[in-house]
Amino acid sequence: MLVKGPASPLLCKRLENKIDVETTEVKTKVFPDGEIYVKLEGDVQDRDCTLVQTTYPNRHLLELFMIQNALKENGAASIKVIVPYYAYGRQDTIFDNGEAISAKAFAKRIGVEADEFCSVDLHSEEIVDFFDIPAQNVSAMTKLAEHSMEVKDPDLLIAPDEGAKDVVKEAALSVGLEWDYLEKTRIDANTVEIKPKNIDVEGKSAVILDDIIATGGTMTEAAEQLKGSGAEEVHAGCTHGLFVDDAEHRLDSACDTVFCTDTIEQEKSEVSVATLLVDEIV
């Protein structure tokens, strides 16, 4: 049974259209004091259930835990949790003494009332090891690269930093495009230079791909650098489009177009991860 988490209605609909599976809706409401209520509409007793629920913004994380509990308490035979966007993934280690490892804390909590876990483009591959249940990470980067080829017709793909280098390289190779990444070089105490490491972008069309766009700061800076290096067109794509505050406005002025997937449902969700997740349900 597909349990349609309230955070992912469009993705759940797309999944439902692709597979012959029984589904249940989840009713939610917020009490006057801000507390959240969830109720499974269908009967999950003795059913193998797959819950799809993304975790941005914060309230959807709370809903996730409560729906897992509802499944457990109402007798689901097994619970698979698909979290298209796994929030808190960027805090995956102690960077400064005294910090929590949020990516680990939530992995442990999810594992208490689930048998399996799956996500899309976790911020780091190591996060799967935080789970005490079988966990896997699927990547949407190739899908983003294919979409770029169809709609943007770029000359190359660019990773905005070294962290995104490997996934962008893999995506570029899968569609036969050139790729590069932006490298920061410190010129002196007050000056850094950011430019493509190997490739001259003069007169070219580039798509920058990253896992997350949050404030848009990384993408905006990357796009401005590429334009400054003579790129003719710069498009920005990501798996998880959070678009915090005025991110879309900033991005729209720096990039020719901006697109993301439906792991977080946005106006710019031009790419669906449904085909990547179908196999996780059937």
Query: Which residues make up the interface to ligand R5P (CB under 6 A)?
Result: 163-164, 210-219
Q: Which is nearer to ligand R5P, 85 or 131 (CB)?
A: 85
Q: Which of 184, 195, 197, 268 is catalytic?
A: 184
Q: Which is nearer to ligand R5P, 214 or 234 (CB)?
A: 214
Burial degree of 158 (CB within 10 A; 0-12, 13-18, 19+): buried
Peptide bond into 9 cis (omega under 30): no
* Known catalytic membership, residue 80: no
Q: How far is the CB of 264 from ligand R5P (least distance, A)?
A: 13
Q: Which is nearer to ligand R5P, 51 or 219 (CB)?
A: 219
Q: How far is the CB of 95 from ligand R5P (least distance, A)?
A: 12
Q: How far is the CB of 243 from ligand R5P (least distance, A)?
A: 9
DSSP assignment of the chain, as one string?
-EEE-TT-HHHHHHHHHHS---EEEEEEEE-TTS-EEEEESS--TT-EEEEE----SHHHHHHHHHHHHHHHHTT-SEEEEEESS-TTTT--S-SSTT---HHHHHHHHHHHT-SEEEEES-SSGGGGGG-SS-EEEE--HHHHHHHIIIII--SEEEESSGGGHHHHHHHHHHHT-EEEEEEEEEEETTEEEEEESS---TT-EEEEEEEEESSSHHHHHHHHHHHHTT-SEEEEEEEEE---TTHHHHHHHH-SEEEEETTS--TTEEE--HHHHHHHH-
Q: Which is nearer to ligand R5P, 28 or 220 (CB)?
A: 220
Q: How far is the CB of 218 from ligand R5P (least distance, A)?
A: 3
Q: Which is nearer to ligand R5P, 88 or 117 (CB)?
A: 88
Please give the order of strands across the beta sheet that includes 23-30: 36-40, 23-30, 2-4, 48-52, 78-83, 116-120, 135-138
Q: Which is nearer to ligand R5P, 42 or 163 (CB)?
A: 163
Nearest to 137 by CA among 11, 239, 4: 239
Q: How far is the CB of 215 from ligand R5P (least distance, A)?
A: 3
Q: How far is the CB of 227 from ligand R5P (least distance, A)?
A: 17
Which residues are marked as active site? 184
